[in-house]
Structure 1
């Protein structure tokens, strides 16, 4: 190319899209079909591996993820940063939803796991409500404690606490490792509306955790609680 030549303009290709016109009897998009098959495959692998099989498979990842949370807690000196996801549910009251959640944590692990692809273990044991799931890119094994009507001391002073008159159903929890390290907190608040309820879901992580970890969990909340709400409504029928 000589100095007076203009470089060629890169060719811009048109975007490609594919739509389903005819074929399957059920309505829905190709994305809907893929989601169904992905969920079915995931449920198959979870069932075949079982709880202990999943724990054994994920042991190295859990060790790394718990070490990450432990280090974030150490370097944060007890300070946390918060983020909140807000969901609007219609067709179901918060009381019915929370009753379903209580029953699920008491013994329906499969329903709890089905709400998110990155749920690996969920259920209650002698320490508390055990959860093995992704925290950002990390897999962590932690417990939730303090669930119920009595709020933990930190929750009573939280900036994110909403008026009792509008959000009477509240649950707060530390998210702690088996060694007692507090790697996060949760404050979830529910208020009924004329046609359903609002879920105000706040998560706290140690201040030195990367912001992407916090943002991940706000997306995680949206997926899991939407699916739990839908499951609770289906169980009512």
Structure 2
């Protein structure tokens, strides 16, 4: 189907639909609020967390990694990460807006970060941060670790449930280029997770970080 005439603004029908979908979703999130979303999704979260917990158990501590790589122009990694620091410190709306399947993204009093989002088809509630002594020692030996000279901004985290079960790992690495920066975004999921779950999280990374980078650029970061 081809749009022959009518709207005078730039964009395709797909662009129009995306704009309206985002506007509708933002309205629903705002009206429901954080607790309303948690109440609405309680059964989904229970099922999703059970999936992650069982995957961690049957994987015996083993993880499978995947990496999404993005390149950005017109913005340095330092400027982008400064914008991200501000957003993660309390601008939940900006964090939620980056992906349709973001439901909660909020800092906790203990320094961890609470996330409710999809892991594959599963709605899950987990926390980002360390867990236990030397919890992030894995990052120093990760196969995905890139040279510090090229990627000086590296952050790593465990993904864990409220009972402390580690259900994943994340490593993000950023390095400047001649006209912008490269983002290398790695996730580790339990080895018994279906391949499609990892695939969808790599797509998730692409969507959310593209939108965060675009928002940072629009804000003049």
User: What TM-score comes out, normalization by structure 1 length?
Assistant: 0.89
Structure 2 equivalent of residue 28 of structure 1: 11
- Where structure 2 has 5 or more consecutive residues not aligned to the other structure, the ranges are none
- Where structure 1 has 5 or more consecutive residues not aligned to the other structure, the ranges are 1-17
Q: Contact 1:19 / 1:29 at 8 angstroms: preserved in 2?
A: no
2:118 aligned with 1:134: yes
Q: Contact 2:68 / 2:202 at 8 angstroms: preserved in 1?
A: yes
Q: Contact 1:151 / 1:171 at 8 angstroms: preserved in 2?
A: no
- Which SS does the other structure have where 2:117 is aligned? strand
Structure 2 equivalent of residue 110 of structure 1: 93
Alpha-carbon distance in structure 2 between the residues aligned to 1:216 and 1:51? 24
2:128 to 126, 131, 144: 144
Alpha-carbon distance in structure 2 between the residues aligned to 1:115 and 1:124? 17
Structure 2 equivalent of residue 219 of structure 1: 203
2:103 aligned with 1:120: yes
Alpha-carbon distance in structure 1 between the residues aligned to 2:187 and 2:220? 28
- Mapping of 1:51-200 within 5 angstroms? 51-127=34-110, 128-146=112-130, 152-200=136-184
Instruction: Give the number of aligned pairs.
Output: 217
- Which SS does the other structure have where 1:84 is aligned? strand
- 1:235 to partner: Cα distance: 1.1
Alpha-carbon distance in structure 1 between the residues aligned to 2:147 and 2:80? 20
Structure 2 equivalent of residue 207 of structure 1: 191
Residue-by-residue CA offset, 1:155-203 (whole Å, 9 max, x unaligned):
1000010001110100000001111010100011001001100000000
1:45 to 20, 28, 37: 28
Detail structure 1 runs of 4+ shifted over 4 Å in the superposition.
none
Q: Which has the higher contact order (CA 8 A, sep 6+)?
A: 2
Q: Contact 2:61 / 2:190 at 8 angstroms: preserved in 1?
A: yes
- 1:24 to partner: Cα distance: 1.4
Alpha-carbon distance in structure 1 between the residues aligned to 2:76 and 2:19? 27
Larger radius of gyration: 1
